[in-house]
Amino acid sequence: MVSGTSAGRRGGHMTDHEIQQYLEDNGYPKHVVEGGGEGLLKRYRKFVEEVERGYQFSIFDYRNDLDGRAILRLVEMEDEVSDLDERLDKMLEHREVRVWESAPDEPFWDFGYPKNARGELLQDLKSEGLAVR
C-alpha cells in the first residue's frame, strides 16, 4: 500500500501511478482512480469555477467537492493547486462557520461558504443552521 507521505522521495511528490494506487487502495471509485492526479486537478478546477459562478448544487455535493480538495492534499498536490486555492479563498465568507471536516488541521476550505451561494446549497446551509445571512 502506498502511503500518503513521501519522506525520502525526491521532490516530495507522488507519481501518477502512486496516486492511482493510493486511490485504489483507499476505495475511491474507478473513475477517480483512472483519472489519477490530472483528473483530481480537473475536478478541483471545475469546482472552483462553479464557486466563482455561484455554487448552486446541494451541500452534499459541496462537501464531496471539499473532500476532493482534501484528497489533493493527501496525494501531495498542494503546489499544483495553489492558484486555485487563492481563487477559492477569495470567494468564501463567514469563515467562523465550519461546513465540513474534510481533513485534519483545519484546512481553510472547510470554513465558510461561497459568498454567492445560491440554489440548493443556500437552502441546505440555511436548513442546517450554517448560513449567517
Cell numbers 449567517 correspond to: 132
Whether 43 is covered by a domain: the verdict is yes
* Domain-located, residue 1: no
Count structural domains, the chain: 1
Specify if 88 maps to a domain: yes
CA distance 35 to 41: 9
**4 located within any domain:** no
Give the structural domain span for 43: 10-127
pLDDT score of 91: 98
**pLDDT tens column, 16-66:** 999 999 999 999 999 999 999 999 999 999 999 999 999 999 999 999 999
In a domain, 62, yes or no: yes
5 located within any domain: no
Distance, CA of 17 to CA of 1 (rounded, Å): 12
**1-17, pLDDT tens digit by residue?**
334 444 334 356 799 99
Residue 125 CA, chain-centre distance (Å), reads: 18
Which position has the grid cell 476505495?
A: 27
Task: Classify residue 2: in a domain, yes or no.
Answer: no
pTM above 0.85, yes or no: yes
Domain-embedded: residue 14: yes
Question: What local confidence, expressed as pLDDT, does residue 13 receive?
Answer: 79
